[in-house]
Structure 1
């Protein structure tokens, strides 16, 4: 049995996970620490993060390239489900946690570690997501969570790292906590906790303010095959390239900022800032394509299940039976969700400019008022009579 003194830490380079390295060694007695950073599309910052972990005292520091897997296996299924938690948040960070948990377990097995660790606090959602993932995949692994044990404030956490010669990457005056991946960027803590404070531009990174966006609108056509995004403006693209291009386009036009009060799994409300231009454009286009290709009763029943899907992912139950069942339903609806939606991007807003689908349920000959109309209006009277019969009976009995 692998020793719990050998531990794999889910490392992001942030305030908490950086402090975890000396804390695991000096306060929790760990003898061998592997810092594992998952590349979910953070970009150029990952090599400095890998080096930072070594400087902080990790014995091994590695980066696992998982961005293609992240978008294809986690991001796109959520797009098919139009998953928006509380109707706003496209789960950019939440979707990454079960994948990070998978990678923690795989790395623990590879390095013969008996424990995994993370820097999640006791008030956040991520502890739930990671703990559940690890427990479901390998219940024999011990889970260490230093940030649930210590009682540091954010400034004290920075100071603890500095005791070991680890320079803070944020200031004590503006201690933003940032989580970034290809699907979006999350910012919390510091002044954000003050509900009367309006975020200043220094907080945002992926998006322009709408008032500074170009004065000329830009159009983008998003192509789907069976619900999966596959092309932009007719050019086939892989998952990561497609999302990256939409992030750039949307951000340039001020699209994708979210400032919301969020209902955390642990029962508290928090204020969160998100930037997710690409995935929000994908969900908007996908939802419109579904309106064109799915019948009304399927759309009506899918809508509450979309909220359930978002809640299930948010709550950390990616590996549970409900998510698998919801995915099966969603997948069954996507067979004919193939086509193209053209969006107009302008001053912080995206609007639908054109729609096209191979199996569109919109039939011009049925809805037109022109001479080519094939709708039999003479059948309407009988339809209305039968359709209204239950209500007329109720009124006659109870009226």
Structure 2
């Protein structure tokens, strides 16, 4: 590996792994280190990261609240597409990585750093997401991935290195963690250790953001979400910021046990992985957004969105948020949202989020057209005969050919 690096920006949580990485970078590369800690709504005490960085002599420390940018510029554009990976996953970790990496590259430019470093392992998707984002934003940036370079390949070796270098090791890190957790305002993700066998149920203690649906309130709760051009702007009549909307929906959904997911997914790097996800607010938001689209999108537009959605979701999952094809798809999706405005009411009950009502000043729904009673005459039943004959022409031709050939 080349050691010609003078300054590096490290994505720093203050935990054991990144604290070891911080020391390892200074020792291995003999370089200055800038630490960057992002508040994406994970709920950690971020000032502890500042204190730990200061203890080891770091002069340039960035701790930033990115919750609003996260929701407005990443989560909401993704939800305009109704994006789910492999039919169920709401991409909570995937959509956070490009924002973190973007800010790391920006800080590198601001501080004159010539490299960035991340703590993702060589087995996961995050290494791909961080690095593809970095290269898309600065093709000359250098990326250091310690887990692909060092020989500290076990928890025991990490702790030994930490102790040898006077890095504090929390008591709860000395034993093997039962599972790993990643969290942000959109979701919590738990994987590894006790969750590695997909044939074993996830223990109750894995869930942190939602109550057990069986223990949720016995009375349903209604929540009304207001939309403007595809984005949620209010909850129960109260105007809220993007992060405020998601925070409120998380609170309501978590109380009712909404948004739990236990899945085995196909990682981009080639292996299957079991993950347990909690996305209460996002689950409600997806149901509500599809509900308002159901009355405001034309059939052709709605079906085209559904056709491209798996491709769009896969791009995000695989780390291609900053790619020309994702931006092209986003332009199409955003165009479709011009009239996706109105209100949707959702019922929350025992783990479910069910659509109850939807209304919009731009609704394409016509009671006059669908009524079983006599309408205004806009639709003539007799017109259906010619429509069906034309639709059936190729089928009749195909059937006649088959009959002759027998």
TM-score, normalised to structure 2, is: 0.93
Aligned to 1:397: 401
Mean Cα deviation higher: 167-176 or 59-68:
167-176
Are positions 1:19 and 2:23 aligned together?
no
Aligned to 1:260: 263
Q: How does 1:279-358 map to 2 (within 5 A)?
A: 279-358=282-361
8 Å Cα contact 1:302-1:330 kept in structure 2: yes
Task: Output one character per residue of 1:53-103: Cα deviation in whole Å (capped at 9) or x when no partner.
Answer: 444664443212211111101010001011111111111111111111111
Return the alpha-carbon distance in structure 2 between the equivalents of residues 228 and 333 of structure 1: 12
Deviation at 1:158, TM superposition (A): 4.2
What SS does the aligned partner of 1:358 have?
coil
CA RMSD of aligned residues (A): 1.8
Mean Cα deviation higher: 34-43 or 157-166:
157-166
Deviation at 1:51, TM superposition (A): 2.3
Select which of 181, 192, 195 maps to 1:192. 195
Return the alpha-carbon distance in structure 1 between the equivalents of residues 158 and 199 of structure 2: 26
Name stretches of at least 5 consecutive residues in structure 2 with no aligned partner.
none
Name stretches of at least 5 consecutive residues in structure 1 with no aligned partner.
none
8 Å Cα contact 1:154-1:175 kept in structure 2: no
8 Å Cα contact 1:120-1:148 kept in structure 2: no
Aligned to 1:102: 102
Q: How does 1:36-51 map to 2 (within 5 A)?
A: 36-51=36-51
Q: Relative to 1, partners in 2 of residues 1:322 and 1:219: Cα closer, same or farther, differing over 3 Å?
A: same
Return the alpha-carbon distance in structure 2 between the equivalents of residues 398 and 32 of structure 1: 76
Return the alpha-carbon distance in structure 2 between the equivalents of residues 55 and 132 of structure 1: 32
Aligned to 2:234: 231
What SS does the aligned partner of 2:312 have?
helix
Select which of 379, 385, 397 maps to 1:381. 385
Return the alpha-carbon distance in structure 2 between the equivalents of residues 259 and 351 of structure 1: 20
Task: Output one character per residue of 1:258-287: Cα deviation in whole Å (capped at 9) or x when no partner.
Answer: 111111111111111111111121111111
Return the alpha-carbon distance in structure 1 between the equivalents of residues 40 and 168 of structure 2: 25
8 Å Cα contact 2:7-2:113 kept in structure 1: yes
Return the alpha-carbon distance in structure 2 between the equivalents of residues 297 and 139 of structure 1: 39
Return the alpha-carbon distance in structure 1 between the equivalents of residues 390 and 246 of structure 2: 49
Q: Relative to 1, partners in 2 of residues 1:56 and 1:262: Cα closer, same or farther, differing over 3 Å?
A: farther
Deviation at 1:192, TM superposition (A): 1.4
Return the alpha-carbon distance in structure 2 between the equivalents of residues 371 and 155 of structure 1: 77
Return the alpha-carbon distance in structure 2 between the equivalents of residues 171 and 300 of structure 1: 52
Return the alpha-carbon distance in structure 1 between the equivalents of residues 71 and 29 of structure 2: 37
8 Å Cα contact 1:98-1:318 kept in structure 2: yes
Are positions 1:165 and 2:175 aligned together?
no
Task: Output one character per residue of 1:98-157: Cα deviation in whole Å (capped at 9) or x when no partner.
Answer: 111111111112222111100011111111111111122223322111111234124543
Return the alpha-carbon distance in structure 1 between the equivalents of residues 199 and 160 of structure 2: 28
Deviation at 1:31, TM superposition (A): 2.9
Return the alpha-carbon distance in structure 2 between the equivalents of residues 282 and 93 of structure 1: 17
What SS does the aligned partner of 2:29 have?
coil
What SS does the aligned partner of 1:287 have?
helix
Q: Relative to 1, partners in 2 of residues 1:156 and 1:226: Cα closer, same or farther, differing over 3 Å?
A: same
8 Å Cα contact 2:20-2:167 kept in structure 1: no
Deviation at 1:43, TM superposition (A): 3.2
Return the alpha-carbon distance in structure 1 between the equivalents of residues 108 and 149 of structure 2: 22
8 Å Cα contact 1:16-1:120 kept in structure 2: no
Return the alpha-carbon distance in structure 1 between the equivalents of residues 174 and 203 of structure 2: 16
Q: Relative to 1, partners in 2 of residues 1:184 and 1:367: Cα closer, same or farther, differing over 3 Å?
A: same
8 Å Cα contact 1:118-1:144 kept in structure 2: yes
Deviation at 1:352, TM superposition (A): 0.7
TM-score, normalised to structure 1, is: 0.94
Deviation at 1:202, TM superposition (A): 1.9
